Structure 1
Amino acid sequence: MIKNLRGLSKRFFISNKWITIPSIIAISLSILLITSLMNFSINSENNLKKKTLEKFGAFEIQCGYEMDSSKRITKGFLLETSSLEGIDKISPVIVEGIDININGINTYTVGIENDELSKSKYKYNSDIEENTIIINKQLADTLKVNEGDNVLVNGHENKVIEIYKDKTYSSNSINIAIMNRKSLKEILKFPEEANYMMVKVQNDDGISKVSKELINLDKDLRVEVFQEDKDLLENINSMQYFIGFLGVLVFIMCGIFIVSNLQGYIYKYTKDFSVIKAVGGSSFQVFITVLMQTMMINITGVFSGTILSFLICKLFLTSFEYYYLPALKIALIGFLIIQIVLLIPVFKTSRILPLKAMAKNDNVEFKHIKLMKYIMKGSLIVGIILILSCIIAADKNSFLHGIGGFLCIYLSSFLFVMIYINKIFRLLMKPLRFIIGRSGEVSMKMLIPQVKKNSILILAITTMIIITTIGGSFVKLITFNNEQYYRKEYLTNIVLTCDYELNYGTTLKLINDVNEIDDTVASVMTEGGTTTIIRNDSKKNIGFSLGNLEELKKQGLIKKFDGDAKNKVIISEEYAKENNIVVGEKLKFIAPKFENEENVIYAEGYKEPEYEYNLEVSSIEDDKLMNRKPVLIDISNTKLVDDISGRLNKMYIDTTNKNIDTLLNGKIQEYQGIKWASLDTVLTETNKEIEERWSFFKLALIILDCSMVFGIITSIKNNINSNRKEYALLRCMKFKQKDLTKMIITQSIVFLLIGDILGVAIGTIGSFIVSISDGGTTIIFPDYTTLILICVCSIMLVLFCIFPDIQKIQKEKLILELNQEEL
């Protein structure tokens, strides 16, 4: 016997499991998704900082003087720095980029101490003593030395104790040597202790204070704080924007879950409590009863969702830390919001007359359709304007404008579904009748009166696909940007450079040898120099590069031209734009005139080269091809060539010869110091790193998708259960069992397909917004193959999960089913 309101609440809670269980699941999944996203966001930002700062080293500040500065770090300055409050450790370094020659090769060299800061910065393992050296693999390959061999460093013999592999994927990567600071100081006769210093602080909060104190010690000291690194801050801001963008969608998704599954609860108890009021119950008693019930549902859902998010983090995202306090805060806020959502309609019901409550409850259509149409059209127009503005004005605010535009279109699509969903169902009636018979038509007719339920369920599916689409596009964008970065350097699949300074004659011989390899075309770009251009009776000194234009044309690196390449010139886009130069224009080049430099002894009979060339502009090319020079001239114009201008800078190689690496290796003996890298190899290695770095993000997306699919299954099962009375009426009308099965399956597939199609369409717009988030102009299209696979799998999983419910409905006694409440 029920003796009090608590007993009544408990009885309602237990006896209506078809309403309470889906409601608990909806709340649980919502809390799971929100806490998981919060945890993912914090971990993502911390991991990005950690990975980026690991590249710099296990310290927070580096400082020193410019290479061309006469200032050096003295012993007194080191003592003064180490005495500053907040500093944990310092490590002085000598950096020399020019004056160190190892076995004939100029090498970037650093002199360091044996401490953790140096090892973290330069990524080596061994302790460096006097007369020992560590070199990178590139230098070791060039010198053909192994660990244990000796090399000459400016004539001083040093033993190679370690060869480390640096992660610079580039044909322009540099040779690096690491030595004991004392040894390098003696070789260079370095006047002081160092020109560079690494600083580790005791507490991250004190970084800013320490950096200011270092600047106060010497205004000429260049101080760099890694946590203030521009690229790091831009990456963090981009990630925060994206996670915030994703967070808005997940919050909307959670709201849809809750509304979709709790609408049955609100409908059921609004009707029941109106009956209680009709038999003498007070508004206060109704309110307290529903408060107890909603708190039971809410507490159970919030608690289980929080526990689930913890378990998923520990089981699947093992590299992530679980942040308990933020998770508890999110759970508490979620509890309060959901409680308010549950209580508002019942609080209103408790204050109105029972008959009005029932009449209001039976209204399943949306009100204010005209207003909704105005809002829909207005949101669509505002969204288009914001997206166009972010395309036209590609600045740092473009991504925010794009997000605003996307959310407006997102809102517009929601309203579109709510307003026109019945028309969509009516359009599907005839095709479905033709395809599967009468059950197809009846399935649509049953859905038409239930506008609120149907639109909310479709929007839940739509949001799931949007989140998946945009999340996948974000990872795709990162990979694309990586490829674009290396494609700017690798204009052909193979780029060859040389550590030695190959002179003009040797460069020509090398290019001829490479072009003799079967199925191979190679072009060359030299260091170039300075020439004088005469145009409109004015003279101007400009930089030039030399290249074999015929081969560049064959490779498609420059536009095709007619005539002799010797009489042609290529102009960079920037220079052509600044000086209004057009294709076909004739330009005159003469030898530049320079004043003889003081303190320079010129050979007897020295005479500056003289030449005059009238060259036609055959094409205007992208600056990335021009070797940072405004003019590219054919290498056959030999009067432009001297010891510097003819040196090899880059060789671009196109080949289909599978043995190209072996054949190029055979040239190393003749052309010592040549090195090359393949674009395919570089992209494979760097994309592998991206995959490893962002695998946790993909896993998080999979977990979110699985949670959302489960929520959609719960919503559809709840929807089926709420229509049990209608199904029973159809059974009374001799509706066959197979027809009932086809009808329910058809309804579920229609829900999923409409949601999937709308989700892919809006998600494609979201992917476009993501693609322009960093000022890019290339549109990133989603991976439609994966999306189709997800859609198909979700349909199959839903059908598999709802099949037991269909079987159960068909077997239940008609008298019991007809007594079911309409929800």
Structure 2
Amino acid sequence: MKTIYGVALRLFKTNKFIVFSSVFGIAVAVCLFITIVLYAESAKKTVSQEIKDLYGEMDLYVEYTQETESTFYRFLEKTPEIEEISKVIVTQAQVDSLQADIYTVGVENDSLAKSRYKFNRDLNNKSVVMNESLAEALNLKVGEQVKIEQKTFILTDIISDLKETGIAPDRMIFSRESVLSFIHEQKEYDTPPTYIVMIKTLQNIDFMALSNKIIENNSDVKVTIVEEDEFLKSNINSLTIFVKILSIIVLCVTSLLIVSNFDLLLYKNKNQLAILRSIGATAKQLVVIIFVQSSLINLTGVLFGFLLSWGSQQFMHGWLEKLFSFTTSSVMFDIKAALFIVAASAIIIQLFLMIPLFKVVKILPLKVIQENESLDFSYKKNRKKMGKLIGIISILLLIAGAVVPDDGKSVGVILGASLLLLISIFTLFPIYLPEILKRVLPFLQRILGKESYIAIKNLLPQVRKNTFIILTISMLIMIAVFGSVILKTIQQNELNQLKRDYPTSIVVSSRLMYESSINPEELLQKITELPNISAASTVSTMFEAEFLNEEKPLPFSYALADLEGLEKQGIISSIERNNRDIIVISNDLAERFELKIGDHMNLGLYSEEQQRILPINDFVVGGISQIHRGDAYLDWSNQAFRNEFTTFHKLFVTPTHSASTLAALNDLKKQYPELQVNSYRETVEQATEMFYQRWSIFIVILASIFILVLAGTFSTLINNIYSKRKEFAVLRVMGVHPIGIMKVIMTQIITYVLIGLCLGTLAGLILTFSVLVIDQTPLAINYTLIFLVGGGMLLMSVILSIPVSIKLSRQSVSEELTKDNK
């Protein structure tokens, strides 16, 4: 038995590189599995933290009527599922110096309210908390006094603005008693106050069941579950899809890495076992050899993979955070989960290694050697038919998922169809690859010479061997494409939303809206007289008008605007002017009312006195453009469309020097305290920072997976080169010089990488497109990153191949010829 163990261990002495590459392949695979599981768990925590950052400790909130407050509150206190409740009132309060109503919240001094509204100090009947821009407009600091609703309050805290969502809204926070006093003293409200109770539940409570229980007690209430927030649900859905697809990709990549790295090991083992059988080794002895060799390689690999995953979590994440200049939420290394993955991986890989070798024990040695030397896939015709069939089915499913109305099942249909399409592509790819290479051969011979021609020619009969390495590279690129496009699309959509709020780089707005007393013409003149301003234009608050067509009046929203200024700034497209009154409409309104430039619109306004729509004037559509807000712009000169509530709303500034212009506009706020000055650049910076905070864990984990797969891919590339040592020796016997051998090796590596890049990019775009079809979102492809990844991988592959090719070109020809075909 000692001799059998010696024979088993001799593999490690005579084939050090093969053993090392196999161990490394297992380590990368196990590390990837652990990383993706920890990532999925961490991603859930990230979403939970995002919910907590937005809503605090609250799990749901209930809107109720004041009449039922006492009985409803007693019911909530007696409900066993509820841990904590906090009452809130939402209304408006007037700041005396602004003569304007500001969004106001009345809260209690408990942890639930503080976590939701982000203030720290307890509030009393003389306290108020404001957002940063409102405090700045009122020239207030913490500890100073301000008059609100003709009462004096002390500013006890300043909370940050929410500029990453666009132009920051103003907010004031009082004690609940203070807001109740406002309500009792006021007689009329434009908007009645809203009474809310925030609820924190015990752990592991069914929110939907609790909601139903609350509604059963009082049918007049409105219950909102925090986790049902549309924005958060969208993020959770994106996260779920992202994790599932990334998990599938990682599973495929690890499978390819194991298969490609074990290809040479299994080949060696099968040959050796066939020889041992032919010289009289028993089945029992072969089983011992198989078990010893596979167990040692497997255990070493999974142990190294465990250490590698722990090391990457401890050190690589920190390095990537410094590289990308952001911090991520902490990812705890769950040792129990990691050990479970290690054990499961070890069992699966052990079976993967032993099952093919057990077959050797049952068949004749000659048959083993014949099958081992097979260079092509078996059942080629059936694979071709199956690949085409799967491709047709996937395309039909994609069309069905995109066209059929969404009933909640289209998401699964589209994802399933996308995966089937990728399976079809990867199934048909190795079948058609030789035909593609044959067509390229004549061009390569003319351009790159005979060595490159020989290099590609030798690839043609080795379809199975070459397919694994190309698919591994394509999977690596698919991860880069999928991850970068998804993140770029999400970021671009957020920036597009901000761009709609900022037609110019600086936007000046009134925080008073319909209560503004600013003269728009006067403000426009003062701002245009400031230095470093090339153009400016104003827009009023919005109102509703009626398009009096032949059938029935059609309502739409409009604002008065400086049309000439907007056109000069490029905010609206060129206007076709004539002697008639001009209206500029949005693309959406033009499509909705089936209008084009030059069409007439007879407009009317609803009269409160006469309780009917009165015709006002006939207008000509002078332009169809992107409207900042609403459906149409009319010029300020149309007096018939101005009323007592027509006030200044926004002023769009095109500066020649942003910094000095912002400083001048902030000085102007001393004269007009109601003004808000917002910079697109600053808002984008804040939104970008928030984006990286929200998605940092995804970026870091994606980068970690990419680096690990890249290491595995390079290991596979070197393995592939070493498997062709005999082929290179034959070329040297035929008169190919060492430089020619280097050229052959580099040509094959570049061919692998280029084909893998093209296939991976195509697969990544298909996968990404199918995911984004679900949300009807346009793709934002990060071409720079894709080219950098592709170019970097190509360059690193060439650099890596140089020392290997030099070493192989200097080996003894006679010794190399004695090597087997791998």
TM-score, normalisation: structure 2? 0.89
2-structure distance, mates of 1:456, 1:278: 31
Given that 2:317 and 2:704 are in contact with CA atoms closer than 8 Å, whether structure 1 keeps it comes out as no
**Aligned position for 2:89:** 94
**Aligned position for 2:598:** 584
Q: 1:447 to 1:617 in 2, by over 3 A?
A: closer
1-structure distance, mates of 2:268, 2:651: 77
TM superposition shift of 1:312: 1.2
Given that 2:485 and 2:782 are in contact with CA atoms closer than 8 Å, whether structure 1 keeps it comes out as yes
Given that 1:528 and 1:647 are in contact with CA atoms closer than 8 Å, whether structure 2 keeps it comes out as no
Q: Deviations over 1:532-560 (max 9, x none)?
A: 55432756776543223333333344443
**Aligned position for 1:468:** 480
The alignment status of 1:613 with 2:617, answered yes or no, reads: yes
Q: Deviations over 1:128-184 (max 9, x none)?
A: 233122211121122122222211121111111222222234665322112222333
Q: Deviations over 1:244-296 (max 9, x none)?
A: 11222221111111111111122222222222222333445434432332233
Equivalent residue in structure 1 for 2:126, among 131, 150, 155? 131
Q: 1:233 to 1:6 in 2, by over 3 A?
A: farther
2-structure distance, mates of 1:463, 1:506: 62
One-letter amino acid matched to 1:511: L
Q: Deviations over 1:596-634 (max 9, x none)?
A: 89xxxxxxxxxx998732222334555x5353xx55433
One-letter amino acid matched to 1:450: Q
After alignment, is 504-513 or 151-160 more displaced? Answer: 504-513
For the residue of structure 2 that corresponds to 1:71, the secondary structure is helix
One-letter amino acid matched to 1:307: L
Given that 1:582 and 1:617 are in contact with CA atoms closer than 8 Å, whether structure 2 keeps it comes out as yes
Given that 2:167 and 2:678 are in contact with CA atoms closer than 8 Å, whether structure 1 keeps it comes out as no
The alignment status of 1:354 with 2:365, answered yes or no, reads: yes
**Aligned position for 1:196:** 196
**Aligned position for 2:155:** 160
2-structure distance, mates of 1:690, 1:532: 41
One-letter amino acid matched to 1:28: A
For the residue of structure 1 that corresponds to 2:153, the secondary structure is strand
**Aligned position for 1:684:** 685
Given that 1:503 and 1:643 are in contact with CA atoms closer than 8 Å, whether structure 2 keeps it comes out as no
The alignment status of 1:345 with 2:356, answered yes or no, reads: yes
**Aligned position for 1:73:** 69
Please tell me the root mean square deviation across aligned C-alpha atoms, in Å.
3.3
TM superposition shift of 1:47: 0.4
Given that 1:60 and 1:199 are in contact with CA atoms closer than 8 Å, whether structure 2 keeps it comes out as yes
Q: Which runs of 5+ in 1 are unaligned?
A: 598-607
**Aligned position for 1:260:** 260
TM superposition shift of 1:470: 1.1
Given that 1:771 and 1:780 are in contact with CA atoms closer than 8 Å, whether structure 2 keeps it comes out as no
1-structure distance, mates of 2:448, 2:552: 82
Equivalent residue in structure 2 for 1:334, among 326, 340, 345? 345
After alignment, is 387-396 or 164-173 more displaced? Answer: 387-396
1-structure distance, mates of 2:404, 2:228: 26
TM superposition shift of 1:328: 3.6
For the residue of structure 2 that corresponds to 1:685, the secondary structure is helix
TM superposition shift of 1:332: 3.6
Equivalent residue in structure 1 for 2:434, among 422, 426, 429? 422
For the residue of structure 1 that corresponds to 2:653, the secondary structure is strand
1-structure distance, mates of 2:725, 2:603: 89
TM superposition shift of 1:565: 7.9
TM-score, normalisation: structure 1? 0.88
Given that 2:66 and 2:195 are in contact with CA atoms closer than 8 Å, whether structure 1 keeps it comes out as no
**Aligned position for 1:786:** 785
Alignment of 1:572-651 (within 5 A): 580-581=594-595, 583-590=597-604, 592-595=606-609, 612-621=616-625, 625-627=628-630, 630=631, 632-644=633-645, 646-651=646-651
The alignment status of 1:9 with 2:8, answered yes or no, reads: yes
TM superposition shift of 1:36: 0.9
One-letter amino acid matched to 2:526: D
Q: Deviations over 1:65-99 (max 9, x none)?
A: 2xxx553633x644542332133222222322356
One-letter amino acid matched to 2:58: F
Identity of aligned residues (%): 25
Given that 1:86 and 1:206 are in contact with CA atoms closer than 8 Å, whether structure 2 keeps it comes out as no
Given that 2:602 and 2:619 are in contact with CA atoms closer than 8 Å, whether structure 1 keeps it comes out as yes
Q: 1:796 to 1:275 in 2, by over 3 A?
A: same
For the residue of structure 1 that corresponds to 2:474, the secondary structure is helix
For the residue of structure 2 that corresponds to 1:592, the secondary structure is strand
One-letter amino acid matched to 2:521: L
For the residue of structure 2 that corresponds to 1:159, the secondary structure is strand
Q: 1:47 to 1:537 in 2, by over 3 A?
A: closer
Q: 1:15 to 1:710 in 2, by over 3 A?
A: same
Given that 2:112 and 2:198 are in contact with CA atoms closer than 8 Å, whether structure 1 keeps it comes out as yes
**Aligned position for 1:603:** none
Alignment of 1:482-631 (within 5 A): 482-500=494-512, 501=514, 506-517=519-530, 519-531=533-545, 533-536=547-550, 544-563=558-577, 567-571=581-585, 580-581=594-595, 583-590=597-604, 592-595=606-609, 612-621=616-625, 625-627=628-630, 630=631
Q: 1:388 to 1:265 in 2, by over 3 A?
A: same
Equivalent residue in structure 1 for 2:180, among 176, 179, 185? 185
TM superposition shift of 1:497: 1.4
2-structure distance, mates of 1:813, 1:581: 82
Alignment of 1:626-775 (within 5 A): 626-627=629-630, 630=631, 632-644=633-645, 646-658=646-658, 659-733=660-734, 735-775=736-776
**Aligned position for 2:384:** 373
After alignment, is 24-33 or 788-797 more displaced? Answer: 788-797
Moved beyond 6 Å, runs of 4+? 608-611
TM superposition shift of 1:730: 3.8
Q: 1:177 to 1:508 in 2, by over 3 A?
A: same
Given that 1:27 and 1:305 are in contact with CA atoms closer than 8 Å, whether structure 2 keeps it comes out as yes
For the residue of structure 2 that corresponds to 1:709, the secondary structure is helix
2-structure distance, mates of 1:539, 1:472: 48
After alignment, is 43-52 or 428-437 more displaced? Answer: 428-437
TM superposition shift of 1:717: 2.0
The alignment status of 1:234 with 2:234, answered yes or no, reads: yes
Q: 1:617 to 1:553 in 2, by over 3 A?
A: same
2-structure distance, mates of 1:502, 1:164: 25
TM superposition shift of 1:399: 5.3
For the residue of structure 2 that corresponds to 1:125, the secondary structure is coil
Given that 1:569 and 1:615 are in contact with CA atoms closer than 8 Å, whether structure 2 keeps it comes out as yes
2-structure distance, mates of 1:526, 1:122: 32
For the residue of structure 1 that corresponds to 2:130, the secondary structure is strand
Q: Deviations over 1:633-653 (max 9, x none)?
A: 332121332211x21223333
Q: Deviations over 1:352-373 (max 9, x none)?
A: 2222222222221223333333
Aligned length: 801
For the residue of structure 1 that corresponds to 2:539, the secondary structure is strand
Q: 1:763 to 1:565 in 2, by over 3 A?
A: farther
Given that 2:162 and 2:169 are in contact with CA atoms closer than 8 Å, whether structure 1 keeps it comes out as no
After alignment, is 497-506 or 347-356 more displaced? Answer: 497-506
Q: 1:381 to 1:93 in 2, by over 3 A?
A: same
After alignment, is 41-50 or 800-809 more displaced? Answer: 800-809
Q: Deviations over 1:367-405 (max 9, x none)?
A: 333333333434444444445555556856665455444
TM superposition shift of 1:686: 0.4
For the residue of structure 2 that corresponds to 1:526, the secondary structure is strand
**Aligned position for 1:439:** 451
Q: 1:417 to 1:101 in 2, by over 3 A?
A: same
2-structure distance, mates of 1:516, 1:202: 61
Given that 2:55 and 2:116 are in contact with CA atoms closer than 8 Å, whether structure 1 keeps it comes out as yes
